[in-house]
Structure 1
């Protein structure tokens, strides 16, 4: 796996070098990615700490991988502040943000030989069963409180900030006229699915959707009869719907990125925990019901 990390740093070194060539050859690229920053001064720092360090990381120098990743994070943060203050270099922020994500993943591969996704479910997010409650209403109250907090943050706070930055950085794109009504319809439907799933989780499962208070019983009722993760589906559709309402492609991308993180980082850990706790029952359920596409009784099922 370390080889993949080194391969990424090699690609990053080549891309960074080509970008700097384009910066000095094309005023348009220079304005879009650097704004009014001095390209000579910026290159004096960025070429050794980003391009050369990435090349050294590709050659197997682990310290260089740390230097390149640290510099990428620092540049991304500084460029985001600059772009927000001046309304310039929005594409630069976007490019460096992508580089930061790639560099962080590659650094993990180089240093650890893997991406430690298990770190996501540590501390307050570690998988633990909820305390069994004699009255389901107690779990229901906790679930509703979670909905208010999580929906308020991930749907009410983050998307407007992203939409504002998209406008400020000059990255906005036109949306079709039906985007807003479609977003409203999807948001209502997805929210209804999320609330239904949460209610079933609390009443049938004797727990909450929160990892630190997971259900005591395997839930295969309500929407869980047709799809294994209706709350995740609801959350992703909600995020995309808010993006349509705000007419922000960056918010839609945020929802898509969330789905990828959940599917490839969180879901395997969650399903491993469910398999350990519920054994053959969960294994049979996983084989019978798909994760993302509804499985209806009598319908042919594909893997």
Structure 2
């Protein structure tokens, strides 16, 4: 599971540097005002050696020390970027990307600690779920898209038309799916959708009766809707990367934890209900 995650990381970092070297607009989107580009290229060798190369090595050899070195490299790069953003009031995209990388690697290093059961209080779980939803939607569907659009100089308020209509309808539909899924998580799961504060019971009702990951589908659909509204290729790539990371990294780790906690009940559920494609007319268990 981790092997795939580190191999994906190595591939994405390599592709990122290729993009920086081959496309001026892509390179410009990741720069800080008043900091010369030579300072940016100074990170090339450390990035390739300490992150890309070591990620490849970790993909083929299990070693916790390598994981911690990679995490430390991301921590240093993240601190540099945060400081550069504070000093120049720019570079929000590279800083955000480094912080995402830092979080990603912290999750890989300490994934066993990332899943814990929630309180069984329905009222308290409902409040926490509402707070989680507001925070995650604001970050993933407002702040990150704005930073991406602004970095590529393509932030223009959408005008009335077919794209706004289609995107708006999709966003509304997928948002309703997400809220409905969260409701069943709280009601029948005695927990919240967040892995750090997860359910106590296996949820097979509501949308979960037809598909195993309705909340992931909801988030992907919402992101796709935002990309359609702004007619943005960078946002479409952002959504595609989210799908890739969820499918190859988050899902296997989450499913391993679900199997550990719910055993045969979860395995039986998986045999009857698809991960991504709704299976109508079948019993979820």
TM range (shorter): 0.5 to 0.7
Deviation at 1:293, TM superposition (A): 0.8
Corresponding residue number in structure 2 for 1:148: 130
Superimposed CA distance per residue, residues 157-190 of structure 1 (whole angstroms, 9 cap, x where no aligned partner): 4433234333432342888943321221112211
Corresponding residue number in structure 2 for 1:294: 278
Corresponding residue number in structure 1 for 2:143: 161
Contact conserved, 1:236 with 1:258, CA < 8 A, in 2?
Answer: yes
Corresponding residue number in structure 1 for 2:214: 230
Map 1:1-303 to 2 at 5 A.
Answer: 8=10, 12=14, 19=21, 37-39=35-37, 45-46=42-43, 49=46, 72-73=77-78, 76-77=81-82, 85=90, 93=94, 97=97, 101=101, 117=108, 119-120=110-111, 122=113, 125-128=114-117, 130-131=119-120, 138-139=121-122, 141-172=123-154, 177-211=161-195, 212-216=197-201, 218-245=202-229, 249-297=233-281
CA distance in 2, matches of 1:235, 1:269: 19
Corresponding residue number in structure 1 for 2:63: none
Contact conserved, 2:10 with 2:52, CA < 8 A, in 1?
Answer: no
Q: 1:244 to 1:152 in 2, by over 3 A?
A: farther
- For the residue of structure 2 that corresponds to 1:204, the secondary structure is helix
Deviation at 1:142, TM superposition (A): 3.5
Gap runs ≥5 in structure 2: 58-65
Deviation at 1:214, TM superposition (A): 1.0
Contact conserved, 1:83 with 1:169, CA < 8 A, in 2?
Answer: no
Q: Rg larger in 1 or in 2?
A: 1
Q: 1:79 to 1:231 in 2, by over 3 A?
A: same
Q: 1:147 to 1:254 in 2, by over 3 A?
A: farther
Q: 1:207 to 1:41 in 2, by over 3 A?
A: closer
When the two chains are superposed, the root-mean-square deviation of aligned CA atoms in Å is 4.9
Deviation at 1:72, TM superposition (A): 4.6
Moved more, 161-170 or 184-193: 161-170
Contact conserved, 1:166 with 1:248, CA < 8 A, in 2?
Answer: no
Gap runs ≥5 in structure 1: 109-114, 132-137, 299-303
Contact conserved, 2:29 with 2:152, CA < 8 A, in 1?
Answer: no
Contact conserved, 2:118 with 2:192, CA < 8 A, in 1?
Answer: no
Q: 1:186 to 1:276 in 2, by over 3 A?
A: same
Contact conserved, 2:192 with 2:199, CA < 8 A, in 1?
Answer: yes
Deviation at 1:240, TM superposition (A): 2.9
Q: 1:165 to 1:40 in 2, by over 3 A?
A: closer
Q: 1:49 to 1:146 in 2, by over 3 A?
A: same
Contact conserved, 1:69 with 1:104, CA < 8 A, in 2?
Answer: no
Instruction: Give the structure-2-normalised TM-score.
Output: 0.64
How many pairs align? 263
